[in-house]
Structure 1
Amino acid sequence: MADSLAPGGLTEDIEDLKAQVRALTAQVKTLTQPAGPDAEETASDDPGPDEADDEEHWQFPPFILLLDSPDYEGELRALVEWVEGVLVPGYLAEASADARWCHRWTDHPIAVARLHALWLAWQELTDPATSGYTGPSVWHRDHYDPCMRELRASTGSFQGCVKGEHQVAHRMPALVPSAWTLPVDSE
């Protein structure tokens, strides 16, 4: 009844919001359920058929920096396919001093982390079932634009890389000397 009173495009906005609320509800339910072998016994209420089906299909994607081998390599391989197959050809113009890009971006852990987060958001926000019709706009505004500003800035992850050349000299050393550690005496 409320939908029939809604003017013009407001109906679509309401449907988008409903889809987002459903997705967030599923996320909250999954996050707040106790983990471990006793989780099923301590669940307070039995989910209905629709909720059980949603929970079976819903999985949180792993954040790439938290993965160990071989899971890391598998997730990186999928990320490379998306970055090289969708992001680079569709979104990134030629690199410049103001908009850097490194062809060896996988050698930059911060770039891998940011691009993985961008890809996870892409997966969620380009699915109308989870984000409605405004998802792609939200992805561009809230995820793509800030990510690219950070990555491609002259002070970003690719600051030492220039047009087709990858520089490793700008990396942090494995062990940073500290004033807090005392040298070991060799007596």
Structure 2
Amino acid sequence: MADDEGLPDFDVPVAPFQDLEDLKATVNSFTSQFKALADNPGNDPGGNRADDAHEADSDADDEDEPQYPPFILLLDPPEYDDELRALIEWVEGVLVPAYLGEPSADARWCHRWFEHTVAVARLHAAWLAWQELTDPATSGYLGPSTWHRDHLDPCLRELRTSSGPFAGCTKGEHQIGHRMPGIVPSAWRLAED
């Protein structure tokens, strides 16, 4: 990229660590459920345990319910900043090098895509789907194909069209169809000495 001055410098990709944390949370959830079942003194195999199971499920739901990432536009700083930082890592580290060719009049792209709310929303949705559909444990062999067909292709088609959010952006110029707020999100502020 020619103009990297507005982008923060990231040394470590965030997405693999998020995937690892999700896996740890799932394992911890199963471990606590297993311990609850093993430590229950009323484990009579022939008895009626429907009430006990319901109580255990409601307790487990409160403590071990998986936390799914919320849609980025519903977040406030600093959570928004953290999610945007992780999204930028994925877009710049995976999507741009693998899927985007040179921008043209028919396939536009803006190097400051993170300032376009529509682009952030669409790319975040594609990224959430990518996280789920590229995990063989949850999606099997068809996940990546489904992600390309149902998520990536429509997302890029909408973003890169000549009437899309990057319509005013050309190689040397960046324009957005709305005024951005005067305050830059805290993730992009330079540390003041």
Q: TM-score, normalised by structure 1?
A: 0.62
Q: TM-score, normalised by structure 2?
A: 0.60
Question: Is the Cα–Cα contact under 8 Å of residues 103 and 164 in structure 1 kept in the other structure?
Answer: no
Q: Report how many aligned residue pairs link the two structures.
A: 127
Work out whether 1:61 is the aligned partner of 2:69: yes
Q: Who is 2:143 aligned against?
A: 135
Aligned residue for 2:105, secondary structure, equals coil
Given candidates 97, 117, 121, the residue that maps to 1:113 is 121
Structure 2 Cα separation of the partners of residues 75 and 105 of structure 1: 15
Structure 1 unpaired stretches of 5+: 1-42, 175-187
User: Cα 1:134–1:160, aligned 2, differ >3 Å: closer, same or farther?
Assistant: same
Given candidates 88, 103, 111, the residue that maps to 1:80 is 88
Output the amino acid matched with 2:96. Answer: V
Deviations 1:68-91 (A, max 9, x none): 010000000000000000000111
Output the amino acid matched with 1:166. Answer: H
Structure 1 Cα separation of the partners of residues 180 and 88 of structure 2: 26
Aligned residue for 1:162, secondary structure, equals coil
RMSD: 2.5
Given candidates 158, 164, 180, the residue that maps to 1:150 is 158
Aligned residue for 2:56, secondary structure, equals coil
Structure 2 unpaired stretches of 5+: 1-52, 182-193
Identity %: 71
Superposition pairs of residues 33-48 of structure 1, within 5 angstroms: 44=54, 46-47=56-57
Superposition pairs of residues 170-185 of structure 1, within 5 angstroms: 170-171=177-178
Aligned residue for 1:46, secondary structure, equals helix
Structure 2 Cα separation of the partners of residues 120 and 102 of structure 1: 21
Aligned residue for 1:147, secondary structure, equals helix
